[in-house]
Amino acid sequence: MNEFYQKDTISIKDFNKEQLEKVFTSTDKIMQLDPSDRREICKGKTLAYLFYEPSTRTRLSFDSAMASIGGNSLGIADTNSSSTQKGESLADTVRMMSIYSDVLVLRHTLDGSSRFAAEVSNKPVINAGSGTEEHPTQAIQDLFTIKKEKKKIDGLKIGIVGDLKYGRTVYSLLYGLGNYDVDVRLISPESLRIRSDSTYEIKQRLDYTESTNIEEHIDELDVLYVTRIQKERFPDEEEYLKVKGSYVVGLDLLKQMKEDSIILHPLPRIDEISTDIDKTKNAKYFEQAEYGKHTRAALLGLTLNENGF
């Protein structure tokens, strides 16, 4: 039996290197399949999405991924229009959605929300972002993008810059990178360093350095992963205003980078990457978003087919 069958995807920590590589191989297969064969993978299956926070890419890429493999989607993109407004609990909403579907995709403001949902759902749950904790399918997409664009992950120097405190994609990426032999440079304002309650676990998984100065590292990096300062997660707007615009990747910075380096961003971007960068060969964030559709299709195909595809 395929080991992903009916499994929840709650944390990237639940994936070892071999399992990540299996998802990547399945993604390559999805990308190569003839569209009519691809549509057989999840024919007749239904995905339900339940989003308590805004999303463009994650929700729509799941929707698009499911359609590409022959399934369909239904769900709640805005809880203001659901019975959540009447006071229905997350547990009851999840129970309802799992009656109508084969797999549930949940984004929620709270850490631990997906794990809780998995306990009450009788269908597999995929975490589409839980508070500041994790965004595992984003990490799968990020690792796949690095592998596709750099032809490897092991041996790379990877800079992660921006909001390392509140950015859940950062935590999932770091846990995922822990499966590889990489040199990680974390670059952020002092107040946005990775959270101290996570440093022990991250240090168990990989070596990293911390700095506030992007110029110190920029000429050595193979991958620059830029993140947005997460205004909505700051308890105090004054604190946000102090760090707003701390790093802007523009053509002047790009000139200092290795010729074959790549720039990634989970998106949405606000002003941390200048739009001048978009047309350069180093900018890979839109390709990254496109790979997200295919990696999610692969994960859905593996989750919903006992013998894989």
Is residue 57 annotated as part of the catalytic site, yes or no? yes
Least Å distance between CB 223 and ligand CP?
17
Between 68 and 305, name the residue whose CB sits nearer to ligand CP.
68
**33 in a known ligand binding site:** no
120 vs 92: CA distance, rounded Å:
8
Between 158 and 218, name the residue whose CB sits nearer to ligand CP.
158
- How far does CA 14 lie from the centroid of its chain? 14
What the block records as the tokens of 169 is 């994609």
Catalytic residue (one of 107, 265, 294, 296):
107
**168 in a known ligand binding site:** yes
Between 38 and 296, name the residue whose CB sits nearer to ligand CP.
296
**107 in a known ligand binding site:** yes
- Residue 66: Cβ within 10 Å count: 27
Is residue 107 annotated as part of the catalytic site, yes or no? yes
| Coil, helix or strand at residue 134 | strand
What the block records as the tokens of 98 is 């799992």
Least Å distance between CB 280 and ligand CP?
21
Catalytic residue (one of 38, 57, 185, 296):
57
Least Å distance between CB 175 and ligand CP?
16
What the block records as the tokens of 208 is 């990293």
Between 217 and 284, name the residue whose CB sits nearer to ligand CP.
284
Catalytic residue (one of 9, 27, 58, 169):
58
Name the amino acid, one letter, at 231.
Answer: K
209 vs 187: CA distance, rounded Å:
8
Give 83's contacts (C-beta < 8 A, 6+ positions apart): 93
Least Å distance between CB 137 and ligand CP?
9
**Cα–Cα nearest to 15, from 291, 298, 228, 309:** 298
Name the amino acid, one letter, at 203.
Answer: K
Interface residues with ligand CP (CB under 6 A)? Answer: 55-58, 129, 138, 266-268
**189 in a known ligand binding site:** no
Start-to-end Cα distance in the chain: 11
Is residue 58 annotated as part of the catalytic site, yes or no? yes
Tell me if 232 sits within 8 A of 246, measured CB to CB: no
Least Å distance between CB 51 and ligand CP?
9
Tell me if 26 sits within 8 A of 65, measured CB to CB: no
Catalytic residue (one of 22, 59, 135, 185):
135
Between 56 and 209, name the residue whose CB sits nearer to ligand CP.
56
Q: Which residues are catalytic?
A: 57-58, 86, 107, 135
**Binding-site residue ranges for carbamoyl phosphate:** 57-58, 107, 135, 138, 267-268
**Binding-site residue ranges for L-aspartate:** 86, 168, 228
**Binding-site residue ranges:** 57-58, 86, 107, 135, 138, 168, 228, 267-268
